Structure 1
């Protein structure tokens, strides 16, 4: 389980029914680059621009307008753009691997290829799964029926870490943020890390905002449908009670935008103190049921991220009717397990989670779902084969070299930073110098020898996969931190910064067009992958990352003067995003998206700086009538040319730390002086900012 320590380039992939999140318009026989409208001749889709729009009025539209106008989001997608295209390309490549592996499917495989093939082939057998109906849930539902008190609820929550069941409290094993050479338990209220927690709706606002009442009503109907499929009594009555319970929980959770301060959310304490903090829940039973040893448990340290939220949620649960709690557990079991059950379960889940919440019109093919669930259970086994086939050593060397170039440019920018004092500057340079750079794939792979996969046992395979992954985390406790372990498989189209590791990671799947083309235009590459690299580096110095030192320790290494200067700039940047009304009545939350916004601005600045440095004083060539600086900015803009369904976009704005695509292009650009020069942006144009209003952090 991953808490909100890592900073990802995009997190849309993490939403339920990932099929609706990454798209390919037509024909997987095309390369991802061709499908994107990408021009393999020099790396930029010039035809996708809308030159009728002035770049100073809407740079996003100028760079991408024609492409987006003609773009149709595929029926099984909630959005479409470069990330989705490469995700689909990655899926198709993984399908090739899995189709071959499936030919070797056996009853109980022992090697990795046999396991991924058997897992995948079993899931593909829709008819066999449909014949089982709700039978796979029988044992888990019986366990839920036997929950009779608070102790039973705590035991059910704990055992859920090893099954498809459910817990409102999120627990995991992560590095101690003040002692990053050691692991410790982490406890989170749930919603603040975007994984759902005790709430089935994407954000607390879905429970309390009258404008979203239709979604809440649909959610209640979905709960009733799921309970009916499970054979649970009084489905309609229980559905209303479950919604009321989750509404009560939503009202006491700490809001997302108040959970960004890593100092305030670092609250290590022994389990005995947690019990005193939140006495309305049986924490010992919860943890023992999750697999923690009883011996010495009361003294084991656990980092409680939101003490006030945890305490309040425990109180709500204590006051809840036991019948409602059982129905709540039963519903979420079915919701979590729907992908592994008969079509009736999955259809109900899709109708609400994908169609109602995100506007997706149709389900993705079963083979795509099969690839995704195989990834969830055996992602590193699949990743090793993916790297062997699709990521040449030359690509790793090229990207590593480019990362070093961007790092050198960041070093230069820090040296000339105008608002940072010398003590803080010196410490910042030291942190940058200590950045670990990971490209392509990890040095070590997971050992799946203890994970049992059985042919035809779709639900059982999924449960054993969950239990295996959880045990993998538990086994870290009381051991030194493994700095070779990654938090993302190489076939993932993303990148991340891990502040407790002080490292930046670029998986293999993102290192291809339109993000990076070794034969493409240099300036476009610096705007695209250079901007992505700079984005991840900037995360080390955003509103959260700046609190971690060169060793990944949570520490106060900034002077008060530099802290105050940073905060003033961050507040000004946040206000720019707050002012963006992307949908009618829906503004960007500048505080919730602060870290990503700082990283976007820093990333574009660093991509541009690295391009300038690469010229070594020589004039930049003009290509297709576009100057070097213009191509850097356009390369960045092309990366974010995404179209979203309105419901999906609204959901993102309420629950995602990443701002919408249009703001990820326009706001960083209009804070950079060179953008005004490159596109002759003048006062009176919509994006124009006076020089003293432009925010320059990194």
Structure 2
């Protein structure tokens, strides 16, 4: 995609969310006292009347830290023992239930890959042949070492032969096809203001460091990272054949160009404003504004010559790209382009390149050792042949019954969201009508695509991993540009089936849940409803409410970027969400490091609103199941308590300090401990479930409590 991304995922990468808090129908906090010890105090009726059972998958009682009161620190109460007993492994930067599920899925995927790789009689052109040959070539380290840079030589020679600006322009187009990050991102997107058609999009990019601020901050930690970055550049260039003096000179050139691009880049907070990042220009206007880039020629080279208009995300950034092309010597531009190419394929090069990349990432993230090769190459196969590989996975790992159960849960949660919209006390009827229309139009995708991608035009062999990688990238680019001028493909997925994640896509007004996420412990068709609703239900509510968060609410039922709120309702929404922003600004996981409430606003709102809405859906499900009969205790906990415990236990994680600092600077998701407790601190439903009292740390005062849906 050409954007930072329009997919709003539930864990990493770019994300959105919704504003969510206690609704006007939320139960008030009870007067039941909480014992000083951490064991929750049940209401008398629950303790005496409810049947006690221990069947079905429930929360993990052994992981609780009962030395901590749930109303003082629910994150520690719900999973403190697990956190103590599960340090981050040496090959990881963070560790939580998602990693454990990932390990289990990877073992399934590894078996699929190794069987495919062993099957050298698979029909030519079949998914099995392509997946097997890709993985076999990726695992053949002897062949990779022997080949050295030979498979990359045609691309390196192309750059070396550049003699003028025209040659630079041609190489930029070539690298867009090979999906490097040189200078900017470009591709075909759904037009956010006319969602029935595709448009060409151009957005900022071109940096090696994780974010623009890494080029300018002066603290000791950032200086250390910049030092590692310079060493990374120099050593990689030396591996390409530069002598030491030349490598250092070229590294300085790359840093100078990237610093120029960084200075012109918008901050991550500024990138969250969809209106200011939508700037449609005619190709003639583009040509006039950015003559050195020569957009008309660029689009023709990109097989998009038919385009009459382009949506530019950040016009000032593209102006700086134009100035860089005009003022930097051609030789220096070649150096930058060579670097962007090589760093994008380093994982497919000999071990010396792979090791240099890891040493740089060690400083960034604190990782102690790299992942084993088969895990890295499994991820590469998923990235390059995602639906061919995913089809083989789904055949083994995702049942129709699981898909049906997940669809039923989404339907119930949508119904709860509709109730929350109707009962909202501060939203006017015209805005409610538009919100209900949008909710009704929301598309739901579960498990895997109804129509799989056709890889028949992609040739994969066992000859060279690097050639396979480049071929897959070029094939993917050509598939993308084919969409331009055609009808919107509403069957397309932005994640592969084994992915442990989910997303909301605003221009398509859809939520998507890959099969990889719909596995225990996040989802189990045979589990207790309270646990399922607290786990995967929390994710479903999160993604649904992304459509109504500070970003998502700007898109209408058809996915168009259009203001459908009355001015008074929009102002009230902003006023209420500002409380959430202040709450998260105050969270500080490390000395002098605070969560950025503006950067994380969308995800925080989605967590909060989603959990509130899902709680309502669970209550409906429990009423349907038990009516007026007592609801059972499982492992000593009421359904409401199990709901909140399930939510918390699936968000616990240990993380290295280096990775945590990087997350706070670059990730729109708050650290897991605050994703866990942040919503609960605003929910009277939580107070009631655990008998929390005013003055306890998990209980906010009326003035400090956010209330949205």
Shared fold (TM-score, shorter chain, > 0.5): yes
Alignment of 1:626 with 2:637, yes or no, is yes
**For 2:696 and 2:96, how far apart are their aligned partners in 1?**
27
1:182 corresponding residue in structure 2: 197
The question of 1:6 aligning with 2:7 is answered: yes
The one-character-per-residue Cα deviations of 1:462-493 (angstroms, maximum 9, x if unpaired) are 10000000001000000000111111111111
Q: Deviations over 1:149-172 (max 9, x none)?
A: 433322211111222654221012
Once residues 456 and 588 of structure 1 are traced to their aligned partners in structure 2, the CA distance between those partners, rounded to angstroms, is 48
Do 1:60 and 1:665's aligned partners in 2 also have CA atoms closer than 8 Å?
yes
* Partner SS, residue 632 of structure 2: coil
1:142 paired with 2:157, answer yes
Alignment counterpart, residue 672 of structure 1, candidates 683, 691, 707 = 683
Asked whether the equivalents of residues 14 and 668 of structure 2 are also in contact (C-alpha less than 8 Å), the reply is: no
Q: Does 2:229 align with 1:219?
A: yes
Q: What SS is found at the alignment partner of 1:491?
A: coil
1:92-131 per-residue CA deviation (whole Å, 9 max, x = no partner) reads 2111111111122379932111111011111111111011
Find the counterpart in structure 1 of residue 209 from structure 2: 201
* Deviates further, 307-316 or 571-580: 307-316
Report the TM-score, using the length of structure 2 for normalisation. 0.90
The yes-or-no answer on 1:647 pairing with 2:658 is yes
1:311 has 2:323 as partner: no
1:251 is matched with: 263
**Which residue among 440, 444, 458 is the counterpart of 1:451?**
458
Q: Which moved more, 1:3-12 or 1:633-642?
A: 3-12
- State the 1:49 CA deviation: 1.4
Corresponding residue for residue 565 of structure 2: 558
Give the structure 2 partner of residue 356 of structure 1.
363
Aligned position for 2:380: 373
Q: Which whole-Å CA distance do the structure 1 matches of 2:530 and 2:641 have between them?
A: 9
| 2: CA distance, partners of 1:74 / 1:105 | 36
Once the two structures are superposed, the pairs formed by residues 467-478 of structure 1 within 5 Å of their partners are: 467-478=474-485
For the residues of structure 1 that align with 2:89 and 2:329, how far apart are their CA atoms? 44
Stretches of structure 2 lacking an aligned partner (at least 5 in a row): 16-53
User: What SS does the aligned partner of 1:181 have?
Assistant: coil
In 2, are the aligned partners of 1:87 and 1:493 still within 8 Å (CA)? yes
Contact 1:151 1:282 in 2 (8 A): no
**Matches for 1:527-538 after TM superposition, within 5 Å:** 527-538=534-545
In the TM superposition, residue 309 of structure 1 has moved relative to its aligned partner by 2.3
Matched, 1:153 2:153: no
Answering whether residue 75 of structure 2 is matched by residue 43 of structure 1, we say no
Matched, 1:595 2:602: yes
Compute the displacement of 1:140 (Å).
1.5
**Structure 1 unaligned spans of 5+:** 15-38, 190-196
Whole-angstrom CA distance in 2 between matches of 1:488 and 1:112: 18
Comparing 648-657 with 269-278, greater Cα deviation is found at: 269-278
| Equivalent residues in 2 for 1:537-552, closer than 5 Å | 537-552=544-559
Shift of 1:280: 4.1
What's the offset of the Cα at 1:686? Answer: 2.8
Q: String of CA shifts for 1:374-405, please: whole Å, max 9, x gaps.
A: 11221101111111111110111110011101
SS of match in other structure, 1:187: strand
**What is the CA–CA distance in structure 1 between the aligned matches of 2:649 and 2:325, rounded to whole Å?**
47
Name which of 233, 241, 262 aligns with 1:231: 241
Query: Structure 1 residues 40, 330: closer, same or farther in 2, change over 3 A?
Result: farther
Question: Cα–Cα, structure 1 residues 149 and 257, in superposed 2: closer, same or farther, change >3 Å?
Answer: farther
Partner secondary structure for residue 262 of structure 1: coil
Cα distance between partner residues in 2 of 1:159 and 1:205: 29
Judge conservation of contact 1:183–1:479 (CA < 8 Å) in 2. yes
Structure 2 residue 337 is the aligned partner of structure 1 residue 329: yes
* Structure 1 contact 671–696 (Cα < 8 Å) conserved: yes
Does the 8 Å contact 2:162/2:168 carry over to 1? Answer: yes
The question of whether the paired residues in 1 share the 8 Å contact of 2:588 and 2:594 is answered with: yes
| C-alpha contact 2:631 2:638 (8 A) present in aligned 1 | yes
Provide, for residues 393-420 of structure 1, a one-character-per-residue CA deviation record: whole Å limited to 9, x for no partner: 0111110011101111111111111121
Deviation string, structure 1 residues 674-697 (Cα, Å, up to 9, x no partner) = 111222323333333112321122
Inter-CA distance 2–620: structure 2 relative to 1 (3 Å threshold): farther
Deviation of the 1:504 alpha carbon: 0.9
Q: Please give the secondary structure, in 2, of the residue aligned with 1:349.
A: helix
1:668 positional shift: 0.7
Show the counterpart of 2:22: none
The answer to which of 557-566 and 360-369 deviates more is 360-369
Q: Which moved more, 1:343-352 or 1:324-333?
A: 324-333
* Residue of structure 2 equivalent to 1:163: 178
Query: Is the contact made by 1:415 and 1:425 (CA closer than 8 Å) also made in structure 2?
Result: yes
Question: Is the Cα–Cα contact under 8 Å of residues 149 and 322 in structure 1 kept in the other structure?
Answer: yes
Q: Could you tell me how far apart the structure 2 residues matched to 1:13 and 1:458 are?
A: 30
Q: In 1, distance between residues paired with 2:13 and 2:312? A: 26
Matched, 1:656 2:656: no
- After superposition, the C-alpha distances for 1:416-468 in whole angstroms (9 at most, x for unaligned) are 11121111011101111111111111110011110011222111111000000
Q: 1:317 Cα shift? A: 4.1
Aligned match for 2:116, one of 101, 108, 111: 101
Q: In the aligned structure 2, how far is the partner of 1:40 from the partner of 1:230?
A: 61
- Residue 107 (structure 2) aligned to one of 92, 96, 107: 92
Larger RCO (CA under 8 A, 6+ residues apart): 2
Q: CA deviation at 1:597?
A: 0.9
SS at match of 1:281: coil
Task: Give me the whole-angstrom Cα distance separating, in 2, the residues matched to 1:150 and 1:669.
Answer: 57
* Bigger Cα displacement from structure 2, 237-246 vs 544-553: 237-246
Give the secondary structure class of the aligned counterpart of 2:445.
Answer: strand
Count of aligned positions: 662
Q: Distance in 2 between matches of 1:376 and 1:246?
A: 26
Secondary structure, aligned partner of 1:72: coil
Instruction: Measure the CA separation in 2 of the matches of 1:596 and 1:314.
Output: 35
1:564-575 → structure 2 map (5 Å cutoff): 564-575=571-582
Query: Using the alignment, how far apart are the partners of 1:524 and 1:458 within structure 2?
Result: 43
* CA pair 307-344 structure 1, distance change in 2 beyond 3 A: same
When structure 1 is superposed on structure 2, of 601-610 and 618-627 the one drifting more is 618-627
Q: 1:245 to 1:688 in 2, by over 3 A?
A: same
Could you state the TM-score of these two structures normalised by the residue count of structure 1? 0.92
Q: Is the 8 A contact 1:108 1:454 kept in 2?
A: no
The alpha-carbon deviation at position 611 of structure 1 amounts to 1.0
* Residues 644 and 226 (structure 1), Cα distance of their counterparts in 2 relative to 1, 3 Å cut: same
Report the Cα offset of residue 608 of structure 1: 1.1
Q: Which deviations, in whole Å up to 9, do the C-alpha atoms of 1:478-526 show, x marking residues without a partner?
A: 0000111111111111111111111111111111111112222221111
- Over the residues paired in the alignment, what is the CA RMSD in angstroms? 1.9
Counterpart-to-counterpart distance in 2, 1:664 and 1:643: 14
Distance 1:66 1:2, change over 3 A: farther
